[in-house]
Structure 1
């Protein structure tokens, strides 16, 4: 049945089109992480190291939203513009990408995030900020926050990009995806950091060597993304829909 979870075939995952998709995911994730991490470093620079204030939070959220909008848009016609292991996981559970190809997407995204974080650290000469819990926020609260905001992100991806009924919504998908990330950072940033993306957290962790609570930024986004994929696919995408083509996802 179209849309069911599929492991995939090695010949498909190593085809020229698939290899191009992996490179596109690497580049898009590098672009996003460089801009996102760079915005946090830039705030530290211009504020003289002061703690993040409301204006700084807004600036960082806007930068992440703009950066993701571009990263998704430039990769959309090649790889689907996932730029996020949680998005890939949610799409795999909804049958929009095979498990095997999704694994290679993860590798490309994580490598892109690491390179992006290392490059921005090299260019600025400043310490790389990592995601972390604010004072008074426990691990459970952090995971739940990341589950909720990532659910919103992946649900938006399905509604605007992956659903065959999307129609004209497909043309604004990168904007909608960027907007929901920016909005979620405004909400979750002061509490869990508002990652929604294991690669966005993992790259800076590697660059800085600080893996404190990194599991939260894997568990929360993957649970949230997986739930969104299952809910949207099996609630709104009926079995008689044509599966999204491999050229899109």
Structure 2
């Protein structure tokens, strides 16, 4: 499909809007749960963890069939790295996610009675650690989240009706609780970017891109090419050489030769073309 054809499709713009709105809702929930309680007492990571997990489950049902409800640039880049998503759609998703996150941070910033409370929005490296440790914790937390997402997606492809949203929500809760004390438990570059743009606090902001993206890509690649049912050396080579991965997956799962699957696919394409004509 050409660029012009993709941009003319209604489904493309629906998916982009879903990612933008989903990110707005997700970041709003995360930021709202970090606002200090009475007496300016910090809430700790438990409230953001629960808010993130619950809203992730909800968004999966709202936008899962439209865009996949990724609402996270790290997840989107993991799908791009494993060729589950094309470059145009991945770039559009990341842009929509960042815009939605920025709108969420701006709306809550305007709604706060005291602007100084917005300082709790920005993810910060713990004073007891350093930026390197924060990168490691963000990568580890994001790895387990994205590995869960890929596992759920594989079960959906095989079983169809498997929801999996609850497992992803639990994974978000676990990630925030794991990395919360060290780095804030972002696992989402857009969630960190939005508040940074609104408040102007950019200290160690690179941590929240490198850590999550590194963990997400490692999780996606390790699942797709080592742990998935269709994982094989041929699939990895097909990804690296930009060949058709779907044919290799079909051959791996059905235990047929790649040439047989390729011939079958070509016959199906010719039959569809003749019917269309």
Instruction: Please classify the TM superposition score into its range, dividing by the shorter chain length.
Output: 0.7 to 0.9
Alignment correspondent of 1:205: 196
CA–CA separation in structure 2 for the residues paired with 1:64 and 1:167: 27
Alignment correspondent of 1:39: 33
1:8-87 → structure 2 map (5 Å cutoff)? 9-14=2-7, 15-41=9-35, 44=36, 46-52=37-43, 56-87=44-75
Report the alpha carbon displacement of residue 59 of structure 1 after superposing the two structures with TM: 2.1
Alignment correspondent of 1:188: 179
User: How many residues get paired?
Assistant: 228
Q: Which runs of 5+ in 2 are unaligned?
A: 232-247, 252-277
Scaled by the length of structure 1, what TM-score is found?
Answer: 0.86
Flag the structure with higher helix content. 2
2:249 to 237, 240, 243: 240
Alignment correspondent of 2:102: 114
Q: Which runs of 5+ in 1 are unaligned?
A: 1-7, 243-249
Contact 2:156/2:162, CA 8 A, preserved across alignment = no
Q: Secondary structure at the match of 1:189?
A: helix
Report the alpha carbon displacement of residue 187 of structure 1 after superposing the two structures with TM: 1.3
Root-mean-square deviation over aligned CA pairs: 1.8
Contact 1:161/1:169, CA 8 A, preserved across alignment = no
1:152-191 → structure 2 map (5 Å cutoff)? 152-162=144-154, 165-167=157-159, 170-171=162-163, 173-191=164-182
* Range 120-129 or range 93-102, more displaced: 120-129
Report the alpha carbon displacement of residue 234 of structure 1 after superposing the two structures with TM: 1.0
Alignment correspondent of 1:247: none
Alignment correspondent of 1:124: 112
* Range 123-132 or range 77-86, more displaced: 123-132
CA–CA separation in structure 2 for the residues paired with 1:12 and 1:234: 31
Scaled by the length of structure 2, what TM-score is found?
Answer: 0.77
Poorly superposed stretches of 4+, deviation over 6 Å: none
Closer, same or farther: CA 87–163 of 1 in aligned 2, 3 Å: farther
Report the alpha carbon displacement of residue 118 of structure 1 after superposing the two structures with TM: 0.8
Closer, same or farther: CA 100–169 of 1 in aligned 2, 3 Å: same
